[in-house]
Structure 1
């Protein structure tokens, strides 16, 4: 097991400013090498131009630390803002542009942003902003970082460590704030670089959003540390994916299991394997059958990983060829200490390892792992320097982690972690709802879909159902809206009055 607390050579990798210093270094060593490529526009920023763009954004934002809410669609501007915020001492709060008005107002109430990045100025009206908030549009950002028009010199600016604020469902299924410093993000990015063997010759494709931790850390930050290029797509496209790989000479791609399943319905391109040496998956368990089918059809290794927002993304990863990757396994611990413990019972907080090979709760510790949620929520997840993930699994004789399920109530829909409590609170605001419990329904494409069990105050009919659906769509992002509403006379409860969510989950699995 890696002793991360005593390994001095790796400790040096988490000094504040690692990301910006790497950008400066590669801008000096290979100024004309590609850093960012945007597939829809075909635009490229070289390392020299990327440094100029980051410096221009930092000078625009100023030296005083500010709170930045990032609500832009995918694209290279997101990458510039992430690195600018993390190196300029700012607090970055990413949020999906398609988030509901309710979610956007909550972000404003919680963080009171100084700057809001939106695609068009009218998009800001959904945020109920403070009078002092500066609105910056995508057009303004594009003009600011234009390498032709910019007069900014590509020299090194003073480093101020910034941080990012994310929302996760945590181990209990309730939304919780995760604050990650630049050094934590850089630590995990360095582990990605090492585990995937990234070099200056690599070109990584990401089709994932920048309002989650995966794309910024796994694709962007690891590539900057490696001096390689990031090919950024605003959205995944099943019809264009393979043409992107060929056109931009992609050597690896970061995906989620749902995308792997979608690609299985495409024809094998003639150019494969070409430059593509592997694809990696994260955010949700990948069915072993899909891994084998993908490798058999396309001849490309699939590297499964396991990550957590609480650890700045990647925690465990399968080795890339010629190393051994195992179907059904999330891989080996990378940059963390990991143990399998007896799950918590009745509030018991003792950390006791299970017998080797037995299933237990996955617990981790390391430089990138947070020690608390915002406002000290969910403190029972942090015990004696270890984070209890709420996920269940076991280690085989070779030390590979196999994930078998989870204790936590979170619903994983296509890699999107959804907190049941958040949806339940929205449903309970509807006048017809007396009680609500939300669980996941197994789905062959997305892994799970959201289903709501409710007790109504009046007669259940199609009109009430449609009213609930409209209510949910008003207050929730589209992927959080239940696909089905099930009416019950009463929710199942245990002796202490707590909802027996497991009974509802079992009902969904058996249906």
Structure 2
């Protein structure tokens, strides 16, 4: 049996209101030091300016708690709204800028936000919330520019409301409080050994938990600088590294694959300590090729929204890293259990070194899903992640796959049911099932199996693609549609999604073999 204490690491204490106290501390200790930089615009904000801006935004939001839907592009304003909500007692709902109106309507129905923060005023119309107040990017930036007060305000514990995907592919609500986020950010600071001299770069979106916690909040706790890009740019990535004297960057395996398609830059500043990857497994060949070509250590990690992101990380050099391993537990307890055969099965540890379901516990972990307190993923203080893995004799976690049906494309979790509901609303679709197709760049691409009410044709496939593209954001749109006479089901009528996934895996394997024998 595994001894849980063997896999507990970095149990540092985090006091209440840690984010606000840290912002006040650094604003007093190094008021003119740069806190946030926008990669594209080169705009900078000092710690003192950030504290004043947080105060100004808190006043503009009004009395807490308010439900704030944040659909601003990644940058200074977005980051400060995160901090203002978390330290001002508000409930923040991050949302992708430029989402389709159907997606806006779904999130509005689920959460009924009272304040919409959008880049342009017309972007708020798709939410259908006539009573909600709208604050544009320009309005936020004007408040940030005029902010001047450094007088301390009473910190109020805020929350972030996220929508993630569970083992069934159905969207689930995750509510993280300020202390849970602070805990994880502190573990990132400790495990990555961040100091005020560090300059971190994130090119990841702020509507997921990684960028705001792993990059923004950890940098705040360290008193260091965070460089925020609106989006990843293969042509600008290395120039940002040089221009802003970046010492570490947070990326995902998809970006590693894209960077491997670029030439090694003539410069590679010696200050660049490591690249950090998460969100999906990094292929070992990509890791090794990247490190050899660019001479930069790659730190693999593992995290999940339910625990405010990072829970496992490899140590920095010169400590031992293991390619293919996500590392060792950081600030949480971890155990490997027998995958349950039914929802009432007790937690039962596997033998040391055996593969099983990864289960975690710790201060950063939520205790239940929002609007779904009876979800069986939570048992006796432990969370069943739905992921499969094993722990080796040195305490390193190796992830071998997942039980869940969620599709992971480029590090983004995509719920199959959302895609299926859109397709089923088409008058010619009788049945639909979305699954992931293995992809060497994105990890997975979305494909849809359909049963239609008419004769199948290329024209109908194109029509379904256009129909989905009008109602779903681009990563969720299926890249292929396959028509079947019937979808595979078990005797009770439940969809056998695993058979469709196996079919896609077989197709990918056959193509891979063919490419190597041609």
1:407 aligns with 2:403: yes
Structure 1 residue 457: Cα displacement:
1.4
1:64 aligns with 2:64: yes
How far does the alpha carbon of each residue in 1:340-370 deviate from its partner, in whole angstroms, 9 at most, with x for none?
0000103342100111111100000111111
In 1, are the aligned partners of 2:69 and 2:92 still within 8 Å (CA)? yes
User: What is residue 466 of structure 1 aligned with on the other side?
Assistant: 462
1:446 aligns with 2:442: yes
In 1, are the aligned partners of 2:19 and 2:182 still within 8 Å (CA)? yes
In 1, are the aligned partners of 2:242 and 2:269 still within 8 Å (CA)? no
Give the SS at the match of 1:143: helix
Q: Unaligned stretches of 5+ in structure 2?
A: 508-518
In 2, are the aligned partners of 1:273 and 1:298 still within 8 Å (CA)? no
In 2, are the aligned partners of 1:112 and 1:130 still within 8 Å (CA)? no
2-structure distance, mates of 1:378, 1:105: 26
In 2, are the aligned partners of 1:86 and 1:162 still within 8 Å (CA)? yes
Q: 1:219 to 1:23 in 2, by over 3 A?
A: same
How far does the alpha carbon of each residue in 1:124-179 deviate from its partner, in whole angstroms, 9 at most, with x for none?
11111132x11111111111001xx33x3112210100000001012221111100
Structure 1 residue 64: Cα displacement:
2.9
Structure 1 residue 235: Cα displacement:
0.9
1-structure distance, mates of 2:116, 2:403: 37
User: What is residue 52 of structure 1 aligned with on the other side?
Assistant: 52
In 1, are the aligned partners of 2:279 and 2:302 still within 8 Å (CA)? yes
Q: How many residues are treated as equivalent by the alignment?
A: 504
Of 268, 271, 274, which aligns to 2:270?
Answer: 274
User: What is residue 127 of structure 2 aligned with on the other side?
Assistant: 127
User: What is residue 100 of structure 1 aligned with on the other side?
Assistant: 100
In 2, are the aligned partners of 1:65 and 1:89 still within 8 Å (CA)? yes
Q: Unaligned stretches of 5+ in structure 1?
A: none
User: What is residue 30 of structure 2 aligned with on the other side?
Assistant: 30
TM-score (norm. length: structure 2): 0.95
Query: For 1:325-474, what aligned pairs fall within 5 Å after superposition?
Result: 325-376=321-372, 379-474=375-470
2-structure distance, mates of 1:316, 1:273: 28
In 2, are the aligned partners of 1:260 and 1:294 still within 8 Å (CA)? yes
User: What is residue 315 of structure 2 aligned with on the other side?
Assistant: 319
Give the SS at the match of 1:259: helix
2-structure distance, mates of 1:257, 1:245: 18
User: What is residue 514 of structure 2 aligned with on the other side?
Assistant: none
User: What is residue 196 of structure 1 aligned with on the other side?
Assistant: 192
1-structure distance, mates of 2:372, 2:168: 14
1:10 aligns with 2:12: yes
Structure 1 residue 470: Cα displacement:
2.0
In 2, are the aligned partners of 1:273 and 1:300 still within 8 Å (CA)? no
Structure 1 residue 62: Cα displacement:
2.3
User: What is residue 20 of structure 2 aligned with on the other side?
Assistant: 20
Query: For 1:212-223, what aligned pairs fall within 5 Å after superposition?
Result: 212-223=208-219
TM-score (norm. length: structure 1): 0.96
How far does the alpha carbon of each residue in 1:370-415 deviate from its partner, in whole angstroms, 9 at most, with x for none?
1111111661111111100000000011010000000000110000
In 1, are the aligned partners of 2:38 and 2:44 still within 8 Å (CA)? yes
Q: 1:451 to 1:304 in 2, by over 3 A?
A: same
Structure 1 residue 469: Cα displacement:
1.4
In 2, are the aligned partners of 1:363 and 1:387 still within 8 Å (CA)? yes
Give the SS at the match of 2:201: strand
| Farther-moved stretch of structure 1 (103-112 vs 192-201) | 103-112
Q: 1:282 to 1:405 in 2, by over 3 A?
A: same
2-structure distance, mates of 1:333, 1:265: 32
Give the SS at the match of 2:263: coil
Give the SS at the match of 1:445: coil
Structure 1 residue 273: Cα displacement:
4.3
Structure 1 vs Structure 2 CA RMSD: 1.6
In 2, are the aligned partners of 1:2 and 1:335 still within 8 Å (CA)? no
How far does the alpha carbon of each residue in 1:236-261 deviate from its partner, in whole angstroms, 9 at most, with x for none?
11011000000100000000000000
User: What is residue 139 of structure 2 aligned with on the other side?
Assistant: 140
User: What is residue 163 of structure 2 aligned with on the other side?
Assistant: 167
Ranges of 4+ aligned residues in structure 1 off by more than 4 Å:
1-4, 6-9
How far does the alpha carbon of each residue in 1:437-471 deviate from its partner, in whole angstroms, 9 at most, with x for none?
11100101000000001111111112321221122
In 1, are the aligned partners of 2:245 and 2:269 still within 8 Å (CA)? no
